[in-house]
């Protein structure tokens, strides 16, 4: 379990973390979201004990990174933005080196991970010849070598193609499910995390402005629900069953309801005389919530 | 102290020397110049070309020889005297440039090379102590530089004895001066060079900055060389032991300073 209480950190005169507080339960995948420069990377570095906070308290599995950094580093794996690999060495040499550093005795794990991340055919090539996506996958394999109980991932999908993103994210979800690993993912590509993280924390100007599961955040920030319905119903007086409605192109209408409970009766009413081919809830995705949180915070 | 960690980092760094053309060229070229080309050139010029010294220069040479050795040397022929002086004094300080230049080149790259490749953060995020990191980096510079120095010593011996045997009818290399140099002064100078360069390497952000600052370490060695040539002082046994003791003390102080002022947070923030 990770607990951060009012942690602040400044570099020169610039405050990067400003009384940041967050909690990440054991086995949870927490998405740490925020714009560039929000303090996500600094927070990960502070959690790993490589940067000292100016103030505040941190507890990681009961350890304080300021005092027990070494113990924390033994059980954490990390993927940084730059991947941190040796470009002159090949994939096997890189993983073998880090296996020694992390005290991994079972060397077959190197080859298992290379296979799992689709790098088996490229294991003898120098990393300098790898694409950004391949480097990211190898960096993730490096972070998982010692089977850490906590994973810090800083922009793990940057530079990956859609296949790579899908491979990495589904592997992470599966790994978390099988091993109960606590995962903290920093990203600003929100839609990728929507189905991976169990909860989210929004960081802005070094401060957590809100956190919770997607459902909790939707309930908190959505005052109404917009439904995009594909139907042959034609709107005449701007409402359907008493709800405001607008006609869209190609047999689509947009109806605004106040609560999820109102959706089923509304659809039932429409279906009495018309067909419905699809229904989609608009502006309830993570990205819309993110902008709502930020705009409310900036008010 | 985790030996696996020390071995892994040292092995990686030494392999890297063979992967880097610049580093490899330096550690091959410098010994070839200072232990083969210069001694072979000087000794063969003295022995196989005819020349005469004017009275003033001869008197100065006699003074040098009296200062450094015993009166027996004065009975040597001019060629023998010059070879004796070059092999036992001039070349000793010239030889010191081999460990200093090779170790500076390798050690300057030690930490700043990791910073430039953005791999230092991977090491600092790992469960290794800063002490293990520094010791590995010191070993990664010491092992190749000392090996190169030993190989150079053997090569010099072969060249000098090979060229001078017909004149002296005995092996003139290694003298006691050389043995003390290789076993005492050279390791001390080598460690000093490495410690200073690793310290510089931990504080600067580019290899160029590290080599610019590290290059200053060559100056005292050049000072010794100029001292020999000008006759100001001679690096004899006594002076070598005194110098080694002083450098040993400086090395111990430096080691303490490195341990005291280089914590993980400082190292990490210096590379951002």
pLDDT given for residue A74 in this prediction: 93
CB pairs under 8 A between A and B: 66
- Reading the block at residue A60, the tokens are 């990681």
Tell me the pLDDT band of B213, cut-offs 50, 70 and 90: confident
Q: Residue A88, SS3?
A: coil
Q: How far apart (Å, rounded) are the C-alpha atoms in residues B42 and B91?
A: 10
Residues of chain B in Cβ contact (below 8 Å) with chain A? 2, 4-5, 7-9, 12, 16, 19-20, 117-119, 121-129, 264-265, 268-269, 272
Residue B253 vs residue B230, higher pLDDT: B253
Average pLDDT over residues B92-98: 86
CB B122 to CB A103 under 8 A? no
Q: In Å, how far is A15's CA from the nearest CA of chain B?
A: 15
- At residue B44, does pLDDT exceed 80? yes
Taking an 8 Å cut-off on Cβ atoms, the answer to whether B12 and A50 are in contact is no
Could you tell me if residue A62 is left (phi over 0), alpha (psi between -120 and 50 degrees) or otherwise beta?
left
Q: Write down the pLDDT at residue A283.
A: 77
CA distances B24 to A66, B29, B108, B115, B232, Å, are 41, 8, 14, 20, 36
Chain B nearest-CA distance from A131, in A, is 16
Closest residue in A to B20 (Cα) is: A88
- Token match 């053309």: residue? B21
Closest residue of chain B to A48, computed from CA coordinates: B125
CA distance A73 to chain B (A): 5
**CA-based nearest distance B269→chain A, Å:** 7
Please tell me the distance in Å from A68's CA to the nearest CA on chain B.
Answer: 11
A84 and B125 within 8 Å at the Cβ level: the answer is yes
What is the pLDDT tens value at each position of chain A, 299 positions in all? 899 999 999 988 889 999 999 999 999 999 999 888 889 999 999 999 999 999 999 999 999 999 999 999 999 999 988 888 999 999 999 999 999 999 999 989 999 999 988 899 999 999 999 988 889 899 999 999 999 999 999 988 887 888 888 888 888 888 899 889 999 999 877 888 888 999 999 998 899 999 999 888 888 887 788 899 999 998 888 888 889 998 998 899 999 998 888 999 999 999 998 999 999 988 778 888 888 888 887 77
- A98 vs B126: CB contact, 8 Å cut-off? yes
Report the chain B residue with the minimal C-alpha distance to residue A84: B119
CA nearest A69 in B: which residue?
Answer: B127
Predicted confidence at residue A237, as pLDDT, reads: 83
- Residues of B within 8 A of A85 (CB-CB) are 119, 122
- A88–B127 C-beta distance less than 8 A: no
A78–B269 C-beta distance less than 8 A: no
Name chain B contacts of A89, Cβ cutoff 8 Å.
Answer: 12
* Cα end-to-end distance, chain A, whole Å: 33
Task: Output the six-digit token pair for B221.
Answer: 């060695």
Are A2 and A184 a contacting pair, CB within 8 Å?
yes
Contacts of A183 (CB under 8 A, 6+ apart): A28, A29, A30, A150, A151, A153, A172, A176
Model pLDDT, residue A263: 92
């Amino acid at each position: 379990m990770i607990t951060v209480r009012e942690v602040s950190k400044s570099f020169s005169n610039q405050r990067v973390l400003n009384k940041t507080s967050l909690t990440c339960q054991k086995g949870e995948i927490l998405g740490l979201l925020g714009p560039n420069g929000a303090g996500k990377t600094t927070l990960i570095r502070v959690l790993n004990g490589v940067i000292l906070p100016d103030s505040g308290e941190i507890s990681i599995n009961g350890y304080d990174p300021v005092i027990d950094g070494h113990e924390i580093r033994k059980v954490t794996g990390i993927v940084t933005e730059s991947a941190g690999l040796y470009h002159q060495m090949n994939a096997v040499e890189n993983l073998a080196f880090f296996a020694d550093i992390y005290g991994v005795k079972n060397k077959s794990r190197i080859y298992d991970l290379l296979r799992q991340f689709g790098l088996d055919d490229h294991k003898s090539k120098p990393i300098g010849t790898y694409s950004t996506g391949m480097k990211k996958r190898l960096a993730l394999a490096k972070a998982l070598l010692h089977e850490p109980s906590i994973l810090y991932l800083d922009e793990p999908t940057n530079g990956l193609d859609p296949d790579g993103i899908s491979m990495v994210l589904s592997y992470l979800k599966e790994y978390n499910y099988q091993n109960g690993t606590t995962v903290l993912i920093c990203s600003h590509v929100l839609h990728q995390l929507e189905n991976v993280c169990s909860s989210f924390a929004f960081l802005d100007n070094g401060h957590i402005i809100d956190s919770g599961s997607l459902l909790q955040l939707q309930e908190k920030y959505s005052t109404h629900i917009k439904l995009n319905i594909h139907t042959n119903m034609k709107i005449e007086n701007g409402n359907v069953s008493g709800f405001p409605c607008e006609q869209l192109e190609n047999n689509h209408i947009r109806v605004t309801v106040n609560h999820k409970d109102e959706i089923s009766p509304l659809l039932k009413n429409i279906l009495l005389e018309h067909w419905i081919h699809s229904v989609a809830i608009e502006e309830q995705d993570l990205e819309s919530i993110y902008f709502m949180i930020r705009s409310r915070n900036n008010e | 102290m985790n030996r696996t960690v020390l071995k892994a980092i040292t092995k990686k760094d030494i392999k890297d020397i063979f992967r880097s053309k610049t580093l490899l060229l330096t550690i091959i070229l410098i010994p070839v110049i200072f232990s083969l080309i210069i001694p072979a050139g000087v000794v063969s010029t003295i022995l196989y070309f005819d020349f005469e010294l004017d009275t003033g220069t001869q008197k100065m040479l006699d003074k040098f020889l009296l200062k450094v050795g015993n009166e027996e040397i004065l009975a040597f022929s001019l060629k023998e005297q010059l070879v004796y002086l070059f092999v036992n004094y001039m070349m000793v300080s010239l030889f010191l440039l081999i460990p200093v230049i090779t170790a500076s080149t390798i050690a300057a790259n030690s930490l700043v090379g990791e910073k430039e490749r953005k791999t230092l953060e991977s090491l600092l995020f790992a469960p290794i102590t800063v002490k293990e990191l520094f010791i590995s980096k010191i070993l990664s510079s010491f092992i190749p530089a000392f090996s190169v120095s030993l190989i150079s010593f053997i090569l010099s011996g072969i060249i000098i004895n090979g060229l001078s045997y017909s004149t002296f009818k005995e092996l003139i290399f290694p003298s006691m001066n050389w043995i003390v140099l290789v076993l005492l002064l050279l390791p001390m100078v080598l460690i000093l060079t490495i410690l200073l360069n690793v310290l510089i390497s931990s504080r600067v952000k580019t290899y160029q900055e590290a080599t610019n600052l590290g290059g200053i370490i060559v100056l005292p060695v050049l000072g010794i060389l100029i001292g020999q040539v000008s006759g100001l002082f001679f690096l004899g046994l006594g002076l070598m032991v005194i110098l080694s003791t002083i450098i040993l003390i400086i090395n111990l102080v430096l080691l303490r300073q490195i341990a005291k002022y280089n914590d993980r947070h400082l190292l990490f923030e210096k590379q951002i």
